[in-house]
Amino acid sequence: NWSESEFREHEIENEYGETEKIKLAERGVLIEGKETEKLSEPMTVCTFEETENGVKTKATRKRTRKKRSIWAREVRKLSDNGHQTSIITTNYKLSIILIGIYMFARWCQENYFKYMIKNFGLDMLISYYIQKISDTTLLVNPQWRKLDKQVRSINGKLKRLEAKFGALTYDADDEMDEKQNKKYNTKKAQLQEDISIYRKQLEECKKEKIEVPKKITFEELPEDEKFEGVYNERKQLVDTIKMIAFRAETALASFVKNYTKKPKEARALIVQF
């Protein structure tokens, strides 16, 4: 955790329109990826290695590649219980107060949906009536979805292998002995072979995916994949009414909190009524 002396107090407005004080601190952070890039000129790196006798010796190596990296801002909020919440951004134009507000706003959104789902059933079906789907309705082709999933999976595995290969090349040492060099070349050859296999699989899947239409009509669906829909046309209207009810509840809670000992319990009091 960061030292509490780094945190400074700032004032922001919460979801109820009240002014709150929060403690924020900021540092620069260097984010490094697994992928590497070639250096324009070789870079000399000095390290200290321990020999079999326990003596540390200085070793000089030349690097021809380096890991991809980017500088970002890390802003942390200090809670009253000492807990620190972090957010990382590459936006250098925003002030630390605005970042704190956006962090707070995200929590408000999460709390809002959690409250609405629990108390107003925002994600619930309002009807169990079944209706037939029109034969002309466009749907995502199940075969295309399956191929798209395969492409994503293979591409993810390929990226991980390429990152391993880049890291292996980055860690290569020009002064390796014969045994180390043999082990390095074996591992490198295996990775190259695996990368070649996955690239071929990816190319084949992409070609197959191009030939399959992304969307088809309901009539074109195979019989074993056809289904019935739920009559849900009124849900948007019902959800709108629920949100209006929440706003009314919030307005009443804002009025009542001025007459209660604990303002945060005003909403619970309104709910009881």
pLDDT in tens, 89-111: 999 998 998 888 887 777 778 88
Which residue did the predictor score with more confidence, 240 or 54? 240
- Beta-bridge partners for 215: 140
Vertex 174: Cα angle to 169 and 176 (nearest 5): 100
**Within 13 Å and on the Cβ side, how many CA atoms surround 187?**
16
What letters, b where the CB count within 10 A reaches 16 and e where it falls short, cover 205-223? beeebeeeeeebebeebee
Q: Compute φ and ψ for 88, nearest 5 degrees.
A: -115, 135
**Within 13 Å and on the Cβ side, how many CA atoms surround 95?**
6
d(CA 20, CA 78): 13
Number of residues in the chain: 273
d(CA 27, CA 153): 36
Please, are residues 87 and 103 in contact by the beta-carbon 8 Å criterion? yes
Does the predicted TM-score (pTM) go above 0.75?
Answer: no
Give the model's confidence band at 9: pLDDT under 50 very low, under 70 low, under 90 confident, else very high: very high
Instruction: Please write the tens of the pLDDT for every residue from 67-93.
Output: 778 899 999 999 888 888 888 999 999
How many C-beta neighbours within 10 Å does residue 121 have? 13
Give the model's confidence band at 140: pLDDT under 50 very low, under 70 low, under 90 confident, else very high: very high
Which helix (DSSP H) or strand (DSSP E) does residue 159 occupy? helix 142-170
- DSSP code of residue 95: -
